[in-house]
């Protein structure tokens, strides 16, 4: 039986950071909820789909704003930043939340979840290999997606997260999964 949620106008108007700050207070007031909240958290972390991750990452990387590149590249206070370096930094920052999800799953000893996330990241990066000219990805360089994917696969192997070569081949036909990483054909 599902209980209807009552109207919460003040709660609905809190900023996400303010809402998040309520969770520790709720647990302090009701420690009996810890087990339920832990189960809900694990369910949310386990709810991953490689194709969704790949599509989301590919969209995010193709949609990186050139204004961000313009703000970071060129003459900066006391230095000069090459556009390739700035573009690579922007790409790495866009990848960071996906990597955080990957390492969080690994730290929680959820190997199937970590494997799914890694496969999604690799497939998403593969979808970014032919970046159109004039995009942040293009400024980062044609090998950037493959290099990030290879590095993540290598780190995954070191952390005990191993991908199925057939799954990689089906999503990334021109990439070969090797015992120590990933290579472009």
pLDDT in tens, the chain (185 residues): 566 667 788 988 989 999 899 989 999 999 999 999 999 999 999 999 999 999 999 999 999 999 999 999 999 899 999 999 999 999 999 999 999 999 999 999 999 999 999 999 999 999 999 999 999 999 999 999 999 999 999 999 999 998 988 899 899 998 888 777 777 77
pLDDT of residue 11: 87
Residue 25 domain boundaries: 16-47
Q: Are residues 120 and 63 both part of a single domain?
A: yes
Q: Are residues 119 and 101 both part of a single domain?
A: yes
Q: Are residues 34 and 65 both part of a single domain?
A: no
32 within domain boundaries:
yes
1 within domain boundaries:
no
134 within domain boundaries:
yes
Q: Are residues 101 and 132 both part of a single domain?
A: yes
pLDDT of residue 1: 52
Angle between helices 16-29 and 34-46 (to 10 degrees): 140
CA distance 160 to 84: 32
Q: Are residues 76 and 107 both part of a single domain?
A: yes
CA distance 176 to 174: 7
The structure's pTM equals 0.88
7 within domain boundaries:
no
Judge whether 119 and 50 are in contact, CB under 8 Å. yes
């Amino acid at each position: 039986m599902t209980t209807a949620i009552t109207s919460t106008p003040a709660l609905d108007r809190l900023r996400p950071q303010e809402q998040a700050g309520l969770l520790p207070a709720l647990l302090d007031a009701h420690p009996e909820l810890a087990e339920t909240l832990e189960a809900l958290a694990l369910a949310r972390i386990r709810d991953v789909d490689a194709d969704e991750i790949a599509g989301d990452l590919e969209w995010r990387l193709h949609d990186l704003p050139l204004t961000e590149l313009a703000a970071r590249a060129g003459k900066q206070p006391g230095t000069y930043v090459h556009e390739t370096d700035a573009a690579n930094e922007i790409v790495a920052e866009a990848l960071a939340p996906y990597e955080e999800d990957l390492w969080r799953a690994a730290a929680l000893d959820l190997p199937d979840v970590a494997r799914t996330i890694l496969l999604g990241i690799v497939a998403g990066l593969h979808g970014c290999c032919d970046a159109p000219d004039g995009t942040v990805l293009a400024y980062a360089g044609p090998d950037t997606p493959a290099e990030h994917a290879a590095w993540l696969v290598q780190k995954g192997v070191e952390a005990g997260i191993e991908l199925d070569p057939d799954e990689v081949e089906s999503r990334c036909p021109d990439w070969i999964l090797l015992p120590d990483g990933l290579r472009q054909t």
